[in-house]
Chain A
Amino acid sequence: MSASFAPGKGVEQYNPRVKQRQNASAAMKWFLFGATALAIVLLGMLLYSILAPGLPWLNWHLITNMPSRIPERAGMNSAIWGSIWIVLGAAVMSFILGLGTAIYLEEYAEKNRWTSLIQTNISNLAGVPSIVYGLLGLVVFVDWMQMGRSLLAGVLTMGLLILPVVVIASREAIRAVPPSLREAAYGVGATKWQTVRHHVLPSAFPGIMTGIILSMSRAIGETAPLLVVGGASQVLFRPSSPLDPFMVMPLQIYNWTGRPQEEFEQLAAAAIIVLMIVLLIMNSVAIGLRQHFSRKARW
């Protein structure tokens, strides 16, 4: 037996339509649930289409061996190391440059037409196709600075590619630090750098790390710019100096999927699994760092 109120005062002026509003609210809930479910199903299908052909080929040889023409002997050791160096190098480079830029723009620079122009440009750079960065890297690093098709040129190119995202994420994180915290620090006679170093950065650090994590994920999957800058050919050794040629996992996958033998396609699926595992490990480390520092900031 459902209870209901007697019509209260104001029935002439108000039409609450509680029932309809609640229905709309419930409908929205199902729509949002559907969107989530669809995403999960698609992700599941994607995972299945990789895991099914790839899992049988997933073994130590794949990780320890160098590329080979014989599928049973082919591995991706050089590509794994290439990817790790590229991603770590790019992350370090964009962390230093990107965070520095973000701190300068948010805390030091005057807010005028120039800084807003710079901000607009950084946002635009985040949307530039990655192949353009590859061409830039080819012209500036490979040719003009004579680095050749080297690991260093790849790191610099990839670092530039993810720099705008890191700057934008860091700026957002720094901007989200409440002004009252800065006032508190200035109020006891802190300089700008003391305020930034001891209060703004620790509070913003989790957000900054989120930006770094996202851009690392992007960097490890990027293929096009490295296709231009790096070697598309096989590399049969691990890079041991910054000027060595290099191979990365997405390029290896691209290379294998292009071969006629069906075994190489399955090998490519296995390589995708390895790529995802490496990405997962790197992100876990970054997330662990983020947790560590956000705890420390709160004490």
Chain B
Amino acid sequence: MVVDSNALTAQESRVRIPGVAADAFAAKSDAPESKTVIRLDQLNVFYGSFHAVRDVSLEIPENSITAFIGPSGCGKSTVLRSINRMNDLIPAARVEGKIEYHGVDVNSRGVDPVEVRRRIGMVFQRPNPFPKSIYENVAWGARINGYKGNMDELVEQTLRRAALWDEVKDKLKESGLSLSGGQQQRLCIARALAPNPDVILLDEPASALDPISTLKIEELLRELQQDYTIIIVTHNMQQAARVSDTTVFFSLNDERQGVMIEKGVTAKMFTNPEDPRTEAYISGRFG
């Protein structure tokens, strides 16, 4: 059921998941500056009458890692979940403003949230593998999206990309829940990769993990960055500093609405932020 692993070693590190648009690469090498994958324009999110997020505008370039940081309740997860329309699942949630993915507003008429979520994968705060086999955890997302290639190959490649293959190759039939917390989270990353997205959203993916598992996830994100655009919400500022290229700082305004305070290159944000509120948060004086 699994492809002979020797056959893959020659090309394993650069194996592309079949079907990823090759022209995405071509376009990248032609253009000197990387293009914008996600663009938020005056994004406002409401839960019922509560105005949770106010006027967020930002651009996320291709193959970058962007960290959303900020105190609890500042709306960073809400913004993240708006991007792949996971907020649709909350009946009272309402989104205003534009969320563009490759120039198309994900909330416009004719855009199906199912298609959005296939292209913009998500990893959640607590590892939540399906109560199915490790194999099936990866394969399911590809199968329901009509994957036509060799499923065994896809599962192996995807698990390799998620740096999990060596640990699970002998027990693919075992339940995903039998793995440790860190392995489960990498399985969830593999699951998110299987339907072949180009953006991965991670909502505090390491907050329930020990330091070593956390480090593994961070290393993994650095590798995935070559092929994916990554946005990560984190409470852990060291994590944001270690793993991201760009950091976006959210906070609450006087009306307790989530607002974007500052956005910048991570190194600069953590050494020389422009806004005093950012500095106060980063130096641990509030939040």
Contacts and interface: CB of A to CB of B under 8 A. Distances in A.
Interface in A188-203: 188-191, 194, 198-199, 202-203
A82 B91 CA distance: 47
A184 B128 contact: yes
A127 interface: no
Interface string B5-25: 000000000000000000000
B89 interface: yes
B124 A190 contact: no
Nearest to A184: B128
Interface in B130-149: 130-133, 136, 140-141, 144-145
Contacts of A297: 131
A68 B118 CA distance: 69
B258 interface: no
Contacts of A184: 124, 128-130, 188, 191
Interface stretch (A53-61, A140-148, A175-183): A175-183
Contact of B175 (A111, A187, A298): A298
B94 interface: no
B124 A187 contact: yes
B133 A299 contact: yes
A169 to B, nearest CB: 21
Contacts of B91: 110-111
A186 interface: yes
B195 to A, nearest CB: 5
Contacts of B124: 180, 183-184, 187
Contacts of B140: 188, 198
B169 interface: no
Nearest to A178: B128
A115 to B, nearest CB: 11
A188 B194 contact: yes
Contact of B89 (A110, A182, A299): A182
Contacts of B121: 187-188
A299 B117 CA distance: 26
B200 to A, nearest CB: 11
A198 B84 CA distance: 22
A188 B192 contact: yes
A242 to B, nearest CB: 40
Contacts of A182: 89
A282 B21 CA distance: 56
B130 A181 contact: yes
Interface string B182-194: 0000001001101
A189 B128 contact: no
Interface string B77-107: 0000000101001010000000000000000
A199 B144 CA distance: 13
Q: Which of B140, B192, B194 has the most CB of A within 10 A?
A: B140
Contacts of B119: 189
Contacts of A181: 128, 130-131
A189 B131 contact: no
Nearest to A296: B132
A185 B129 CA distance: 10
B122 interface: yes
A181 B176 CA distance: 13
B216 interface: no
B238 to A, nearest CB: 26
A188 B175 contact: no
Given A111-B91, A299-B136, A187 B131 contact: no
Q: Which of B91, B124, B130 has the most CB of A within 10 A?
A: B130
B136 A186 contact: no
Given A110-B91, A298-B175, A299-B136, A190 B128 contact: no
A184 B124 CA distance: 8
Nearest to A112: B91
Contact of B122 (A110, A187, A203): A187
A184 B189 CA distance: 11
B128 A188 contact: no
Contacts of B132: 299
Nearest to A111: B91
Interface of B: 84, 86, 89, 91, 114-115, 117-119, 121-122, 124, 126, 128-133, 136, 140-141, 144-145, 173, 175, 177, 188, 191-192, 194-195
Given A189-B118, A191-B114, A202-B131, 18 more contacts: A180-B124, A181-B130, A183-B86, A183-B122, A183-B124, A184-B128, A184-B188, A187-B86, A187-B117, A187-B121, A187-B122, A187-B124, A188-B195, A189-B145, A190-B114, A298-B175, A299-B133, A299-B136
